A and B are shown apart, each in its own frame.
Chain A
Amino acid sequence: MNPIYIGAALTIWFFIGVVIAYMARKHLGKGMPEFFLANRKLGGFISGMTYSATTFSAFMMVGLVGLTYSTGVGAVGFEMIYIIFTILLLVIFAPRFWVAGKKYDIITPPELMAKRYNSRWVGIVSSIICLIMLIPYASVQMMGVGFLIEGMTSTSLPSFQIFGVTVSGLYLIGVLLVAGFSGISAFWAGMRSVSWTDAFQAIIMLGASVILVIFVFYHFFGGPAGFVTEISTEQSHLLELNWDLSMFIGLTLPWAFFALTNPQVSQRMFVSDSVKSIKQMIIYFSIFALVYTIITTLLGLSIAGTGLTVTDPDRAMPVLLGNVPVLLALVVFVSIFAAATSTLSSVTLTLSSLGSRDLVKKVKPSISEKLEVYSGKIIIVIILLSCIVFANLRLDMIAVLSSMASGGLLVMAPTIIGSFFWKRSTTEGALSSMVVGGIITSFLYLAGEAYYPLGWWPSFWGLIVTVSIFVGVSLMTEPPDGTEKFLDEVEEGVEEYGMV
């Protein structure tokens, strides 16, 4: 495809995005809750769309499509289990996060843990884990667009060397575009602009994928029935579950707890303006998630059925887009770009809130709120620059890389669950489980598959180690002061607001 078409499509998208962000900026007030949580005033539709656009990234239309194309129905189970657990976790935890956030003026998930465990170190450690683990995840968003631009464009630009790594010109342009747009969205008006642009982007993501799957069914297979016949006869091996159980558990486990352990999504449990809005957020997300997942996995299976030649699973979508009308390809391209940008801007904004609130503020408690917001903005720039460097290393497959990041965050799950549902959980239990679990999980990921004990993935071992340490150490130590009060106040709040 001619790069001029891509440039034109992105220009239109950019113009609309900037207008939305500008409108959001006009509503921007002062202070931390305003910048990072839109002053907890988001309505149900915007809450639901920003949750969806943040959680569903470029991974869906690039990584998941490629994974389904190459490994079949196991990818469907992997993603559906994510939805199942996210809905249940949202129903259980969203009321508690929301009440605690309002009651204690909490802005970040680590801040919530620090409050519950009455220890700033719990907040600092969980923030550091988030910062380390989410840089690869954020970089994956840039990689997704980089691959896509490279795969969709017929012309090529010269490659060059940066720090000994060969970087293709088109790939780098993709990476820089996503970084730039995300930066503008997050930097300009914080959560308000991010959530408004997210809503716009979520609509594009879903709309474009629906149009694409309908086109693919009718163009390549003569209709949905033709697709089912083709896939059941010629590609039936993809409908058989051929994922090794350890790989399935290893990839799915972090995904199942994603709603709790990934701060960019769990922070969205703070932003709604009412009980009705939280409820709507869960409903909109549930429907969006189901439809989007069905479409992306069907697209993965479809590409296998079309007989198109794909050399690398991550290039399955670009190859497909090279075989559909230019206008449709452009709309889908923009939708993937939107998915990447919305996730990246949310991750960047959340990490900057963690940096300024849970690290800078904890190191220098006397800092003014204005300086806190300012430090958050500097952190946005640092994070984006780190991600650009990481994205250009082009490590491994997109799907595995995303899951690795979530695998590292999984070590926070026991501490978060214990915050609300286990009175005996202690500061020592939280700290030791996150530190030791984090080190072991990271070590196993870095050591590689040959060193996985009994062949089971790091996320599996990480969770076992973390739970054991969390429970064992908590039973040997005393819960911090204020535990009963915190739990009583949160549960009373949940009852008071009628979220029982």
Chain B
Amino acid sequence: MNTAYSNSVHETRLVTIGDRMKIRTLGMIALIMAILSVGVPYTILGDIGRIWASYLYWTILTVLTIVIGFIHLRGWDDKR
């Protein structure tokens, strides 16, 4: 019984640690996205008057975030 309890606590801790790491990773992604979405257009792409410059860049960044979001959502348990 003690072993079972110990395993359960251990598993809960692992899940919690994993959860926090995922949240931290998402937080880091948000920070990186903030820097990239402002920094690159304002330093490199801003003066280029072409559709493939800032317009496409922001669109790709958004698509990338959607993909990251979908990958994260794959880990959620659908059956509940």
Q: Number of contacting residues on A, CB 8 A? A: 49
Contact status B76-A77, CB under 8 Å: no
Contact status B15-A495, CB under 8 Å: yes
Residue A49 CB within 8 A of the other chain = no
Residues of B within 8 A of A494 (CB): 19
Residues of B within 8 A of A421 (CB): 23
Q: Determine the residue in chain B with the shortest Cβ distance to A242.
A: B46
Q: Could you say which of A76, A95, A231, A283 contacts B58, with CB atoms under 8 Å apart?
A: A76
Q: Determine the residue in chain B with the shortest Cβ distance to A90.
A: B69
Q: Number of contacting residues on B, CB 8 A? A: 45
Contact status B59-A294, CB under 8 Å: yes
Q: Could you say which of B33, B48, B62, B69 contacts A91, with CB atoms under 8 Å apart?
A: B69
- Given A279-B76, A283-B70: A495 in contact with B53 (beta carbons within 8 A): no
**In angstroms, how far is the closest chain B Cβ from the Cβ of A204?**
23
Main secondary structure of the interface of A (DSSP, over half): helix
Contact status A249-B59, CB under 8 Å: no
Contact status B77-A88, CB under 8 Å: no
Contact status A239-B77, CB under 8 Å: no
Question: Which of A240, A421, A494 neighbours the largest number of chain B CB atoms within 10 Å of its CB?
Answer: A240
Q: Could you say which of A232, A275, A498 contacts B51, with CB atoms under 8 Å apart?
A: A232
Residues of A within 8 A of B41 (CB): 77, 241
Residues of A within 8 A of B38 (CB): 77, 81, 245, 248-249, 252
Q: Could you say which of B45, B59, B65, B76 contacts A87, with CB atoms under 8 Å apart?
A: B65
Q: Please report the C-alpha to C-alpha distance between residue A84 and residue B18 in the assembled complex, in whole angstroms.
A: 23
Q: Please report the C-alpha to C-alpha distance between residue A494 and residue B23 in the assembled complex, in whole angstroms.
A: 12
Residues of B within 8 A of A245 (CB): 38, 42
Among A267-304, those with CB < 8 Å from B are: 274-276, 278-279, 282-283, 286-287, 290, 293-294, 297
**In angstroms, how far is the closest chain B Cβ from the Cβ of A22?**
33
**In angstroms, how far is the closest chain B Cβ from the Cβ of A148?**
26
Contact status B15-A500, CB under 8 Å: yes
**In angstroms, how far is the closest chain A Cβ from the Cβ of B40?**
10
Q: Determine the residue in chain B with the shortest Cβ distance to A227.
A: B51
Contact status A491-B16, CB under 8 Å: yes
Residue A237 CB within 8 A of the other chain = yes
- Given A77-B54, A80-B37: A87 in contact with B66 (beta carbons within 8 A): yes
**In angstroms, how far is the closest chain A Cβ from the Cβ of B61?**
6
Q: Could you say which of A80, A84, A240, A252 contacts B47, with CB atoms under 8 Å apart?
A: A240
Q: Please report the C-alpha to C-alpha distance between residue A85 and residue B38 in the assembled complex, in whole angstroms.
A: 13
Among B34-80, those with CB < 8 Å from A are: 34, 37-38, 41-42, 45-51, 53-55, 58-59, 61-63, 65-66, 68-70, 72-73, 75-80
Q: Please report the C-alpha to C-alpha distance between residue A236 and residue B53 in the assembled complex, in whole angstroms.
A: 11
Contact status A80-B75, CB under 8 Å: no
Q: Determine the residue in chain A with the shortest Cβ distance to B12.
A: A495
Residues of A within 8 A of B55 (CB): 73, 76, 239, 297
Residue A83 CB within 8 A of the other chain = yes
- Given A236-B49, A240-B48: A275 in contact with B54 (beta carbons within 8 A): no
Residue A92 CB within 8 A of the other chain = yes
Which 3 A-B pairs rank lowest in CB-CB distance, beginning with the nearest?
Answer: A498-B77, A236-B49, A241-B46
* Residues in B lying within 8 Å of A, measured CB to CB: 12, 15-16, 18-19, 22-23, 26-27, 29-30, 33-34, 37-38, 41-42, 45-51, 53-55, 58-59, 61-63, 65-66, 68-70, 72-73, 75-80
